[in-house]
């Protein structure tokens, strides 16, 4: 019996909400709150006839801490799921602390305004000290550890697929397969085709910021940064086939390097088609990916936000997307003094996701882990005071929940390695 406040009603949230409604014995009441309330009401009306979960809706601007506090105080949830954007992570964490409620999200904090001089000063110092230049990093949310510990509350960070399930795979490998892990390669393959020359599979602004940034990986205790898309590999993915993949910076590398300190190298690769890359380079070259406002015919516009308005809505790609995703981790290391390799991954079919929840697999592979993470917090399996990433918890009940609710794991004990 629990009451869960879900903030955001986009592609990821709509999957997570539908999955919560499939587990109505745990999620007895949910409140869907977002900036645009009509989207929440539409989804609530669709779901009401087919779930025992009682659904209410609310309007909230989660950039405003006071609004989130008022909503939490009036609705009294047991857990707040932040499925809006990374820009709202800190305001929602502040509101949870003010009201004494557990918190979770699917992506680590980054600011909406990267020109903010107060943020920029800290960012530039971090770039120099840490050695990577992504706009997002864990330092902002790790700074809340003591506050959550003292309040006896849990904050679960980054509980989507990657970050999220990929870290549970690492914790599982460490617990069951290895005495020590030497290398981790996280491989994110989307073999889906939506038929558009260019579209992003989740929020375009967040997605394009991520993939147009320099790549980086962790090796021998330090970050190595390389130009965007400059490291390419080809890999034959189970049930998808051969794909080009490119090394990216990705947030889970940062926490894994801390939490599995013996690992000598951690890399993250994502597949991209040529059409996507050509469009992205062109948009970047003409300045369309910029987050800084420009003056246009008397109006201030942010180029990447304008681009978002032109691109297909990721939440609407489901009907057109065919093919599969294949996301997982390849490990090398030692067990009982023997060298070994291990690959754990999930395959998800875009059309099956669409039939079940009306979404494509990228939203599905994020929304299902968010629901399963909430399940871990609500059932007391993952509760400890403080701020944690997924690999810091027991992976077994989480992976069992994923097996049950739509993202079953697969294993290979002699995978082809990435050179």
Please report, as ranges, the residues that interact with ligand NDP according to CB under 6 A.
7-13, 34-36, 39, 60-63, 83-86, 88, 106-107, 158, 160-164, 202-203, 206, 314-315, 366
- At its nearest, how many Å lie between ligand NDP and the CB of residue 349? 17
- Tell me whether residue 34 or residue 259 sits nearer to ligand NDP (CB atom): 34
- Tell me whether residue 367 or residue 415 sits nearer to ligand NDP (CB atom): 367
Mutual orientation of helices 395-404 and 165-172 as an angle, nearest 10°? 120
Cβ atoms 102, 26 nearer than 8 A: no
Cβ atoms 167, 266 nearer than 8 A: no
- At its nearest, how many Å lie between ligand NDP and the CB of residue 91? 8
- At its nearest, how many Å lie between ligand NDP and the CB of residue 221? 26
- At its nearest, how many Å lie between ligand NDP and the CB of residue 182? 25
- At its nearest, how many Å lie between ligand NDP and the CB of residue 92? 9
- At its nearest, how many Å lie between ligand NDP and the CB of residue 211? 12
Angle at the Cα of 359 from the Cα atoms of 403 and 25, rounded to 5 degrees: 50
At 203, list the tokens: 């929020």
- Tell me whether residue 41 or residue 149 sits nearer to ligand NDP (CB atom): 41
- Tell me whether residue 65 or residue 224 sits nearer to ligand NDP (CB atom): 65
The whole-angstrom separation of Cα 87 and Cα 110 is: 6
Q: What is the DSSP letter of 213?
A: S
Cβ atoms 79, 1 nearer than 8 A: no
- Tell me whether residue 136 or residue 144 sits nearer to ligand NDP (CB atom): 136
β-sheet bridge partners, residue 218: 223, 266
Helix H, strand E, coil C: the string for 300-338 is: EECHHHHHHHHCCCHHHCHHHCECEEEEEEEEEEEECCE
Identify the CA nearest to 418 among candidates 193, 230, 184. 184
- At its nearest, how many Å lie between ligand NDP and the CB of residue 160? 2
At 387, list the tokens: 């701020």
The whole-angstrom separation of Cα 153 and Cα 150 is: 8
Angle at the Cα of 344 from the Cα atoms of 343 and 347, rounded to 5 degrees: 120
Pairing type for strands 222-226 and 215-219 reads: antiparallel
- At its nearest, how many Å lie between ligand NDP and the CB of residue 309? 11
- At its nearest, how many Å lie between ligand NDP and the CB of residue 308? 8
β-sheet bridge partners, residue 260: none
The whole-angstrom separation of Cα 311 and Cα 239 is: 29
- Tell me whether residue 151 or residue 357 sits nearer to ligand NDP (CB atom): 357
Cβ atoms 384, 153 nearer than 8 A: no
β-sheet bridge partners, residue 188: 270, 327
- At its nearest, how many Å lie between ligand NDP and the CB of residue 352? 18
- Tell me whether residue 279 or residue 305 sits nearer to ligand NDP (CB atom): 305
- At its nearest, how many Å lie between ligand NDP and the CB of residue 46? 15
Identify the CA nearest to 396 among candidates 180, 246, 244, 177. 177
- Tell me whether residue 15 or residue 151 sits nearer to ligand NDP (CB atom): 15
- Tell me whether residue 106 or residue 216 sits nearer to ligand NDP (CB atom): 106
Closest CB to ligand NDP belongs to which residue? 10
Which residue is it, tokens 């917090």?
377
- Tell me whether residue 158 or residue 328 sits nearer to ligand NDP (CB atom): 158
- Tell me whether residue 11 or residue 318 sits nearer to ligand NDP (CB atom): 11
To 10 degrees, the CA torsion angle through 44, 48, 51, 54?
70
β-sheet bridge partners, residue 344: 329, 411
């Amino acid at each position: 019996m629990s009451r869960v406040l879900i903030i955001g009603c986009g592609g990821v949230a709509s999957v997570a909400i539908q999955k919560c409604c499939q587990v109505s014995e745990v999620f007895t009441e949910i409140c869907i709150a977002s900036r645009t309330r009509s989207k929440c009401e539409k989804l609530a009306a669709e779901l009401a006839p087919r779930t025992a979960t009682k659904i209410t809706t609310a309007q909230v601007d989660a950039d405003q801490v006071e609004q989130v506090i008022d909503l939490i105080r009036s609705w009294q949830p047991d857990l707040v799921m932040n499925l809006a954007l990374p820009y709202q992570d800190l305001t929602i964490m502040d509101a949870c602390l003010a009201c004494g409620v557990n918190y979770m999200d699917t992506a680590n904090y980054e600011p909406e305004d990267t020109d903010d001089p107060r943020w920029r000063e800290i960012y530039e110092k971090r770039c120099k000290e840490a050695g990577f230049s992504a706009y997002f990093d864990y330092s902002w949310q790790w700074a809340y550890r003591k506050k959550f510990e003292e309040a006896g509350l849990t904050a679960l960070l980054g509980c989507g697929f990657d970050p999220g399930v990929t870290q549970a795979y690492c914790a599982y490998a460490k617990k069951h397969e290895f005495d020590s892990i030497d290398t981790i390669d996280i491989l994110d393959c989307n073999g889906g085709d939506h038929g558009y020359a260019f579209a992003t599979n989740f929020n375009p602004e967040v997605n394009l910021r991520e993939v147009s940034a320099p790549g980086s990986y962790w090796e021998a205790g330090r970050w190595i940064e390389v130009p965007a898309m400059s490291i390419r590999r080809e890999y034959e993915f189970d049930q998808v086939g051969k794909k080009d993949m490119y090394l990216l910076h990705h947030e889970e590398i940062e926490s894994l390097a801390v939490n599995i300190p013996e690992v000598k190298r951690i890399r993250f690769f994502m597949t991209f088609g040529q059409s996507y890359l050509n469009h992205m380079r062109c948009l970047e070259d003409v300045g369309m990916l910029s987050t800084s406002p420009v003056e246009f015919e008397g109006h201030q516009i942010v180029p990447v936000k304008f681009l978002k308005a032109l691109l297909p809505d990721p939440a609407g790609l489901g009907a057109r997307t065919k093919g599969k995703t294949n996301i997982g981790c390849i490990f090398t290391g030692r067990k009982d003094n023997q060298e070994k390799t291990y690959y754990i991954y999930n395959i998800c079919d875009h059309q099956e996701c669409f039939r079940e929840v009306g979404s494509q697999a990228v939203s599905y592979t994020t929304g299902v882990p968010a629901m399963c993470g909430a399940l871990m917090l609500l059932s007391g399996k993952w509760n400890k005071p403080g701020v944690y990433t997924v690999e810091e918890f027991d992976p077994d009940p989480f992976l069992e929940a994923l097996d049950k609710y739509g993202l079953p794991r697969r294993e290979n004990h002699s995978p082809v390695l990435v050179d």
